Each structure stands twice: as structure tokens, then as C-alpha cells.
Amino acid sequence: MQHSSHGLRIALLAGVSVVALAAAAPSAGAADVNKPVLTKAPPPVAAPKDTWTWWIEGGAFHSDGGNFGQFPAFKPDWGGEGAVGFDWQPFAPMHVVGQFRYGQATKSDPLHSVFTSGPTTITTNGTQSLREDHWLIDFGIGRDFGLGNTHAMWTLGIRVADLRARLNTNASFVSAGGPTPAAGVSTAQERSTFVGAGPRFAVQGDIPLGGPWSIDWGAGAAVLFGERNVQVTSTATGTVTGGLGAGTNFVATTLVHASDSPAIFNVDAQAGLSYWFSPNVKFTVSYRFDEYFRALKTITVASTTLGTGGPVFVASNIDRSFSGPMARLTWKY
């Protein structure tokens, strides 16, 4: 009987073990199914990199618009112009753009005038030289936009511009036919300036032509608020050659000034053909036009017939435009 009891305990223990294993098996299988599968982590996404584009430009320009001087009146010849600019794209589609541009032109002409005042005739002969300088700074925020198959961008910003002209004259004069004939030399200088700043809106882009060729284009308009000034200073030194005061030396100085605070309209445009040496470097040949309406002020003598009160001076406002061929090198990184 004891032997049977021992065998029964063994059988019961074996049965309990089998039941326990059977109960644990589904849980183990579920644990295996729910166990996460180890996989390789995806590569980190690279942060977008900002892009810088720089360009330098140089070329020639011709001045047009109103004249300086009067005997005869004239404008500068061709001059030279250079510029440097950048386009920073911190993230697409936004841009930060800017440029600095400077140009200068000069011209010289002979001077000849004849004034009459009653019985007196004053004849003047000499030379006159004109120098004009202009510079501008643009700064703005831009955004890419779609325009057919072209890449285009609009910008809104500010333009600061400085235009100035300086006319110098050196001459000898002879006064005859009056009660006090005289002879001597005279010098005069006319300085005209405009300095202003204001908002500017512009669009620009490029049109692919196939291969490494493309057409670059751009246009803008601005309203500039500033100061417009002109001043003429002249000095005549001579000797009375006849009459009661014969042999008397004299010095006569004249100062004429005019100024105002206008808002002038400015438009510019440029278009050219580009060749891409690589995806990051291109060379462009273009033609540029930049117009400032009534930006400079000049003073002229109203008539060559002088009244008893002396010459009558008249101030007027003149346009100034700069246009000519340009060459540009652009690179980005």
C-alpha cells in the first residue's frame, strides 16, 4: 500500500507539471509575437543648408537727360561703372539680397559767350569741364515664385542713391563799348546734388535656353525721398582799361543757390545672356538702364541781354539716366 501511495504522488506531480506547462505555453507564444523586432535606425535627416550667391559686375555707361553749362550746354561722355552684390537664401523660398554700385563720367568743352548790356558787350572765351558721379545701395527681402518654365523672384526693399555733378569753367573776358571797358579772367563752379532713399520693388529671373545657356532679366521701380541742391559760385578778376577808372583793379563774386526736398521716381531694367561654366559659376553679358526723373537741379542765365540789375538766373530740374553694356561673374556656394 505504501508503494502504491508513492507512485500516486509521482503521477500527481507529473500531471500538475504538464498542466502548468500547457498553461504557460500560450503566454510564451504571445510574448514572442509581441516582442519588438530589432531593425537598423534610419539615417538622420540633414538640416537644410543656407546658400550664398555673390556677383561682381563692370562695364560702361552713357549719361542722358538734361544739360549742364550753357555756352554750349552739354552732358558727360561715356563713363565706367562697377558693382558688387549678394543673394543669401537662409531657407527656401526666402532670399536676402543687396548690391552696391558706383559710376563716374567726365567731359570737357570749349566755352564761348557774348553778353550785351546797353552799349556794353562782354565776350568770354575759355574751357568748361563736367564730372558726374553716382552710387546706390540696394537691400531687400525676396521670395521665389513660379513663372512658366523660368526661375523668378520678387524683392521688396530700400534703395539709397546719390547723384552729383560738378561743372568748372575757366575763361578770359573783355568788356568793350561801355563807359568802363575792362579785361580779366573769371572762374565759376556749379555743384548739383541729389541724395535720397525710399522703397523699391523689383522682379528678376532666368530663362533656360538649353545646355549651359540662359537669359537673365530683371526690372525694378523705386520712389526716393531726399534733398536736391545746386550752387553756383563765380569770381571775376580784372582791370578797367579805359574811362575815368582806367587802371583800377576789381574783383566781383557771385553766389546763386537753390534747393528743395522732392520725391523722385526711379526705374531700372537689365537683361543679358549667361553661360554656365558649372552648376555654381556663370558669366553674363547684359545691357543695363537706370533712370532718375528730375533728379538734378541746374542754374542757367535767362538771357544773353543783361539788364541794369545784372544777369537773371533760372533754376530748373533735369533727368539723369545711365545705360550701357555690362559683364558679370556669378558664383554660389
Residues 103-126: pLDDT tens digits? Answer: 999 999 999 998 887 788 889 999
In a shared domain, residues 79 and 16? no
Residue at 263 is within a domain: yes
Please, which pLDDT band fits residue 26 given cuts at 50, 70 and 90? very low
What is residue 77's predicted lDDT score, i.e. its pLDDT? Answer: 85
Average pLDDT over residues 147-160: 91
In a shared domain, residues 185 and 305? yes
- pLDDT reading at 24 higher than 50: no
Q: Are 236 and 182 in contact (CB under 8 A)?
A: no
Average pLDDT over residues 183-211: 96
Pairing verdict, β 79-91 and 94-117: antiparallel
What is residue 32's predicted lDDT score, i.e. its pLDDT? Answer: 45
In a shared domain, residues 152 and 13? no
Pairing verdict, β 281-301 and 313-332: antiparallel
Cis peptide before 72 (omega within 30 of 0): yes
Pairwise CA distance, residues 103 & 320, whole Å = 13
H/E stretch holding 264: strand 263-278
Please, which pLDDT band fits residue 86 given cuts at 50, 70 and 90? very high
What is residue 16's predicted lDDT score, i.e. its pLDDT? Answer: 36
Cis peptide before 279 (omega within 30 of 0): no
What is residue 3's predicted lDDT score, i.e. its pLDDT? Answer: 43
Specify the 3-state DSSP secondary structure of 26: helix
Question: What are 200-229's pLDDT values in tens digits?
Answer: 999 999 999 999 999 999 999 999 999 999
H/E stretch holding 20: helix 2-34
CATH of the domain at 121: 2.40.128
In a shared domain, residues 63 and 147? yes
Task: Give the chain's mean pLDDT.
Answer: 86
What is residue 306's predicted lDDT score, i.e. its pLDDT? Answer: 58
Pairwise CA distance, residues 206 & 189, whole Å = 46
What is residue 120's predicted lDDT score, i.e. its pLDDT? Answer: 84
Average pLDDT over residues 275-291: 97
Residue at 124 is within a domain: yes
What is residue 149's predicted lDDT score, i.e. its pLDDT? Answer: 76
φ/ψ of residue 192, rounded to 5: -125, 130
- pLDDT reading at 2 higher than 60: no
In a shared domain, residues 166 and 245? yes
Please, which pLDDT band fits residue 23 given cuts at 50, 70 and 90? very low
Q: What's the first-to-final CA gap in the chain, in angstroms?
A: 98
Number of domains in the chain: 2
In a shared domain, residues 228 and 283? yes
Q: Are 85 and 52 in contact (CB under 8 A)?
A: no
In a shared domain, residues 162 and 28? no
What is residue 305's predicted lDDT score, i.e. its pLDDT? Answer: 63
In a shared domain, residues 2 and 148? no
In a shared domain, residues 2 and 145? no
In a shared domain, residues 99 and 2? no
Query: Does the model's pTM come out above 0.85?
Result: no
Domain that holds residue 24: 1-38
In a shared domain, residues 61 and 100? yes
In a shared domain, residues 11 and 57? no
What is residue 316's predicted lDDT score, i.e. its pLDDT? Answer: 95
